[in-house]
């Protein structure tokens, strides 16, 4: 099932950072780059799983994410919170989150995020949540 979408005018970096706020807190600058990166990776996986499932009209990816964290109750609770947040507050935003980069400028963290069209998810060899997560991993860790 393919659905057509009109993308929001909001920058994807702004929407994604707002979505990830429960993991980052209101002062992400007080965290290390590694803490911010770990939080953003989890947020990316949840965001993209919801987008893939919405576009495809199923719950396959959300179920895969839940299965991965079922034996880790604190992380499972965060995943459920993010799933609800994506569906209720950001459900209209069906852009996939691609690569992101955390940069420091003038003593502040900045987030650069690549948006991808969900229509590319329907094409053979297109981005999947696993591939997108691997694309965002630091070199040598994927």
What confidence tens digit (pLDDT) does each residue in 2-58 have?
555 567 888 999 999 999 999 988 776 678 888 889 999 999 999 999 999 999 999
Report the predicted TM-score, pTM, of the whole model to 2 decimal places: 0.79
Positive or negative: CA dihedral 94, 99, 103, 109: positive
Contact 58, 122 (CB under 8 A): no
**Mode of pairing for the β-strands spanning 96-105 and 108-116:** antiparallel
Distance CA(52)–CA(46), nearest Å, equals 10
Q: Confirm if 43 and 82 have CB atoms less than 8 A apart.
A: yes
Per-residue pLDDT for 137 more than 50? no
Model confidence pLDDT, tens digit, residues 45-86: 999 999 999 999 999 999 999 999 999 999 999 999 999 999
- Domains in the chain: boundaries: 12-136
């Amino acid at each position: 099932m393919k659905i057509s979408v009109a993308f929001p005018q909001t920058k994807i970096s702004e929407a994604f950072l707002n979505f990830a706020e429960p993991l980052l807190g209101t002062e992400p600058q007080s965290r290390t780059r590694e803490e911010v990166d770990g939080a953003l990776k989890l947020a990316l996986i949840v965001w993209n799983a919801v987008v893939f499932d919405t576009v495809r009209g199923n719950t396959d990816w959300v179920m895969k994410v839940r299965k991965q964290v079922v034996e880790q109750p604190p992380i499972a609770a965060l995943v459920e919170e993010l799933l609800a947040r994506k569906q209720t507050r950001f459900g209209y935003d069906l852009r996939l989150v691609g690569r992101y980069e955390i940069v420091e400028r003038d003593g502040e963290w900045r987030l650069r995020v690549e948006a991808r069209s969900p229509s590319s998810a329907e094409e053979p060899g297109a981005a999947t949540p696993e591939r997108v997560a691997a694309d965002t991993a630091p070199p040598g860790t994927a």
